[in-house]
Amino acid sequence: MSAEVVVHDSAEVLAAATAARLITALVDAQSARGTASVVLTGGGTGIRILEEVRRSPARDAVRWDHVEFFWGDERFLPAGDPERNETQARQALLDHVGVDPERVHPMAASDGKFGDDVDAAALHYAEVLAATARPATDVEVPVFDVLLLGVGEEGHTASLFPGTPEVREDVRTTAAVRDCPKPPPTRVSLTLPAIRAAREVWLVTAGAGKADPVAAALGGAEPAEIPAAGAVGRDRTRWLLDRDAAAHLAS
């Protein structure tokens, strides 16, 4: 199934339009199944989308206490650290809407029950995913309705970086990642098998620095070289871009 590409005039329009799209997707999932499941991403674009959701007049069309929140990756830092994706997501949206705390599933912090054992933190998240899994997928993760991802300038997505063992992982659903080129260096990430269990994968990125990895991923690059190329949804894969990030795509 080929990916869909949508190009917006600017990073600002991209974030606002993706927020509107996300609200609609969550409302539709809840209409169909009573609940919705979303995987959040870190990074500037991912957080800006959540801020636009918070500001949207349509925001509360979503029954926020019937949304399951997961993360695609997390920086392995103490709870509440401003660099944690969870901290930024809570400040951008989660603390402003009526989420059900039992349905918010952050990845462990480095001062939590696993201490500084990032392998144990990754294994625990795999157990969290398995506990909420549905038989519909051939990996032990929930059927995520929408899985949001950013893209790095060298093609990383979540915390899967080019040429690493984690991007080649084809069984486990999570990975502990060390010495990441993008600081902070230690992270927990979903793997491609977990990402591919999502109904829809939305890769959202902006800026001229992403034009090369976007063109490479959509041009058939191998996931080992451009991890974002391996992020495909079961039913749909969307690349949501601004003009600068789309600049090297064949018109």
The residue ranges that bind ligand 6PG (CB under 6 A) are 41-46, 73, 75, 85, 150-152, 156-158, 182
- Residue number of the CB atom closest to ligand 6PG: 150
Quote the tokens at residue 172. Answer: 């486990």
Min separation Cβ 208 and ligand 6PG, Å:
12
Helices (H) and strands (E) in the chain, counts: 7, 9
Min separation Cβ 222 and ligand 6PG, Å:
19
Contact yes or no for 242/206 (Cβ under 8 A): yes
Min separation Cβ 98 and ligand 6PG, Å:
26
Please work out, in degrees rounded to the nearest 5, the angle formed at the alpha carbon of residue 196 by the alpha carbons of 86 and 103: 35
Distance CA 176, CA 174 (A): 7
Place of tokens 């795509």: 249
Min separation Cβ 157 and ligand 6PG, Å:
6
Which residue's CB is nearer to ligand 6PG, number 64 or number 161? 161
Which residue's CB is nearer to ligand 6PG, number 112 or number 207? 207
Which residue's CB is nearer to ligand 6PG, number 64 or number 202? 202
Which residue's CB is nearer to ligand 6PG, number 51 or number 73? 73
SS3 labels along 112-133: CCCCCCHHHHHHHHHHHHHHCC
